[in-house]
Structure 1
């Protein structure tokens, strides 16, 4: 989020950061009531609990709050942040959180050891609760394994409580005939609804006060109405638009956020082609003349061009998909499972609302959209005839053949060293696509996956796309991460994902910036 406007509005911290922070949990919009219901269901009821909500409704925040509220109670919790596990891997993931030394062996040994630990916790009067976020991405076979785990019981009580958080696709998944027994185990279902105008206003003031705001209504009534309409009542989108609106107000020296600043924020959130269309329409109608005069002072123009323009555009921090990859280990889908792409994929992401915006976005931003050159190829791309290549391949080449050669070496150690050297270089800018991150050591498995991905790329006429293998630390434990490609822009990376072979899309790939990866802890 932006930090330029903090002094201007007398704030001590970012009011609208989108990273889930339980200190900023908003109990309105029935969020508080749902949390209390989840606590009661987790500690007393049997069966599986589901929480469903659209993208950006606050499911992850709610799951973190549940974990925090369960901590002082006689309970032991397991949190699976992105559970694209097969049926054996999910047993191992739960066992690792409950046992200091997870058992080795086949599935039967793992299940017996897990049941033994659950019985021990039950005898101590403790409740074991497994909280699964992004449950809609789970393969059907893994959900069936969850049902079998929920059957573990004593003569009187269940040994394991399972809470599923997911998008509406979770309901669709559970409605499949082969999962009717799982659906039958759902004892409670909660649904997060969009914030209405009253709750949205309370939410904004709650966030502002948490950040040190001492004044009255910062957003006027018209601005608030447009914020609610444009955000569709989704808290994440509301955060992003409120942040951009405050930045625009700061740039104009305004003490309050009005509808003009919100329009500018909404316009900036539209796709580039839409922004250019809006700008062209205003030029044709002559309505932008007053806006040009408004931004005439040279010093102010420099501020907009160098600072605010960047932050209102692509300079924002990582989106949902990147935060997920930065903070949560991802394991691959089983080949048989049909997977929908991750939230960062354009075809499955909700399009920003096209609002009847009468005023044009800020002129400097509009000029940037209208005058921007066409998308350049990937960094250092080697010119080639691309007529026979998939669309994403045109943005996927990398200029260092030596690096690509090392990344195809038969030795995993050579590949990791080449990847580490590439990522460590400050000159390595742009984006890559993360395929997975899983606990180490699983060298042979990761090498096989890297070879499989490379073979798929070679077969799709994308042999110059590097497959990178990198070690990083997650929760102080060593993990292997697998990446594909090097792209100049996030849009290029998304285009690559959309045209990538099925062998890559099945991993639910997410876009990562190299700068963010470089900041992660390494062994």
Structure 2
């Protein structure tokens, strides 16, 4: 998940990371009630328990919460996260967690040793609970072995409690005739339901407050409705869409997430068929709303608007994150918020996805209306194929040439680059935009200098007109970071055009456009 927007919204941590974190467990949507039921069933009831839910409903989070809540109780737990075992392997997997030295030998020896350990734990007043995630992926023979394990008992009580977490396919698997005895042992079945609109709103606010949010409703009513509809009430998808929507709001410099930002997040995340169901006939489509908003009245012009975001997640010791790359749009410049550290490239990460091309006119007839000069002959019959449209002036945009600045930066030590950069940024006449490539925790002088030289060489090889590569130190949450910038541009659209045509050495950083005015206001050491 991206955390570039933390400062923008006054947050201390990422509110919508999808990695299960028990500190962010939401008890609404009956999750808390199900957890209490699982604890009671694990410690007191007989038989096997199943928990069923669709993909992204929070089953893994619930299983981790169950393990955490059982830890202080008189219980021993075994957790199997990927139970694609055969019948002998699952015996070994359980034995390894319960015995310091698992027994060797055939299945009978292992089963006898396991039963001996279970009887010992029972005599100590402890319950042994086996929690199996992704149980729908288990082979039928392994599920039958689970039933046989549940038969281990004293004269009065079962020795082993088994809790199965799985997708609805688990129910289908248990409905098979050969597994009817396993199904008959299911003493309790819980089902995770999607969050409704009220529960989803409470979930979002719960996560935001956990992350340090101090304000009111961050998502307006229309945005919230679309989030619930697009996520289908699934917590994982809700996390992803909320994160991307907040990143879109950060990129646009707006204080609240509205319908436009959620549109962009949905367009980036969902398959075409799902988007078509949410936006029938382009109703509410972001590009359509932008057309109505910005097309000049009375002029028939051909406008190509690209408003996509490449949003993703990353990680690492320096919180390497991917950032939004807004594709070229002809819009008024929005004042930029204070910056957060931008993405660092990871040498081990896969090559970045290619940037989407600049949006072009859709195929088919295009209406282009222009006033007819006096005395000009009347237009002939309309051609079924539109005439080629001359290239937009944006296609020839270039960075502001800074040959003197590039000369000062050439082959110089990092300290010199930083001094030249500081002078350039402080210059009163320096206006416009640059492209930020990374913000990396200092001190990493040699590494940052090598990156700057690599980028400069790539720009020189691409015959860019004297594009400077700048290195700037700044403070973020009282910690020193190196920032790396490329180029000087008059408008945001110029900078976006540069990103689109930049060589791979630039695009692998997942660059983001920055206002020089905003950079000038950032705290420096």
TM-score range, shorter chain: 0.5 to 0.7
Give the 4+ runs in structure 1 shifted more than 2 A. 270-278, 280-283, 285-294, 314-318, 361-373
CA–CA separation in structure 2 for the residues paired with 1:38 and 1:365: 52
CA–CA separation in structure 2 for the residues paired with 1:245 and 1:194: 20
Identify the residue that residue 217 of structure 1 maps to in structure 2: 217
Q: Name the SS of the counterpart of 2:207 in structure 1.
A: helix
Identify the residue that residue 90 of structure 1 maps to in structure 2: 90
Alignment of 1:351-430 (within 5 A): 364=328, 369=356, 371=358
Would you say 1:204 and 2:234 are equivalent positions? no
Identify the residue that residue 195 of structure 2 maps to in structure 1: 195
Would you say 1:238 and 2:229 are equivalent positions? no
TM-score (norm 2): 0.56
> Displacement of 1:370 after TM fit?
5.2
> Displacement of 1:260 after TM fit?
0.9
> Displacement of 1:164 after TM fit?
0.2
Identify the residue that residue 133 of structure 2 maps to in structure 1: 133
1:342-373 per-residue CA deviation (whole Å, 9 max, x = no partner) reads xxxxxxxxxxxxxxxxxxx9754999545599
CA–CA separation in structure 2 for the residues paired with 1:201 and 1:126: 40
Identify the residue that residue 70 of structure 2 maps to in structure 1: 70
Q: Name the SS of the counterpart of 2:15 in structure 1.
A: coil
> Displacement of 1:19 after TM fit?
0.2
User: Structure 1 residues 248 and 44 mapped into 2: Cα distance closer, same or farther (>3 Å)?
Assistant: same
Identify the residue that residue 144 of structure 2 maps to in structure 1: 144
User: Structure 1 residues 253 and 82 mapped into 2: Cα distance closer, same or farther (>3 Å)?
Assistant: same
Decide whether the 8 Å contact of 1:276 with 1:369 is kept in 2.
no
1:243-299 per-residue CA deviation (whole Å, 9 max, x = no partner) reads 000011111111111111111111111347998999x9799x9764467789xxxxx
> Displacement of 1:3 after TM fit?
1.0
User: Structure 1 residues 276 and 221 mapped into 2: Cα distance closer, same or farther (>3 Å)?
Assistant: closer
> Displacement of 1:7 after TM fit?
0.2
CA–CA separation in structure 1 for the residues paired with 2:121 and 2:149: 15
CA–CA separation in structure 2 for the residues paired with 1:52 and 1:269: 25
Structure with the higher helix share, 1 or 2: 1
Q: Name the SS of the counterpart of 1:23 in structure 2.
A: helix
Q: Name the SS of the counterpart of 1:165 in structure 2.
A: strand
TM-score (norm 1): 0.56
CA–CA separation in structure 2 for the residues paired with 1:169 and 1:62: 18
User: Structure 1 residues 264 and 106 mapped into 2: Cα distance closer, same or farther (>3 Å)?
Assistant: same
Q: Is the radius of gyration larger for structure 1 or structure 2? A: 2
Decide whether the 8 Å contact of 1:54 with 1:168 is kept in 2.
yes
User: Structure 1 residues 127 and 364 mapped into 2: Cα distance closer, same or farther (>3 Å)?
Assistant: farther
Identify the residue that residue 228 of structure 2 maps to in structure 1: 228
Identify the residue that residue 105 of structure 1 maps to in structure 2: 105
User: Structure 1 residues 76 and 276 mapped into 2: Cα distance closer, same or farther (>3 Å)?
Assistant: closer
CA–CA separation in structure 2 for the residues paired with 1:69 and 1:169: 27
Decide whether the 8 Å contact of 1:268 with 1:275 is kept in 2.
no
> Displacement of 1:91 after TM fit?
0.1
1:69-109 per-residue CA deviation (whole Å, 9 max, x = no partner) reads 00000000000001000000000000000000011111111
Decide whether the 8 Å contact of 1:309 with 1:364 is kept in 2.
no
1:316-360 per-residue CA deviation (whole Å, 9 max, x = no partner) reads 679xxxxxxxxxxxxxxxxxxxxxxxxxxxxxxxxxxxxxxxxxx
CA–CA separation in structure 2 for the residues paired with 1:193 and 1:88: 34
1:364-415 per-residue CA deviation (whole Å, 9 max, x = no partner) reads 4999545599xxxxxxxxxxxxxxxxxxxxxxxxxxxxxxxxxxxxxxxxxx
Decide whether the 8 Å contact of 2:131 with 2:163 is kept in 1.
yes
User: Structure 1 residues 139 and 273 mapped into 2: Cα distance closer, same or farther (>3 Å)?
Assistant: closer
Structure 2: state its 5+ residue gaps: 297-305, 317-324, 331-353, 361-525
CA RMSD of aligned residues (A): 3.3
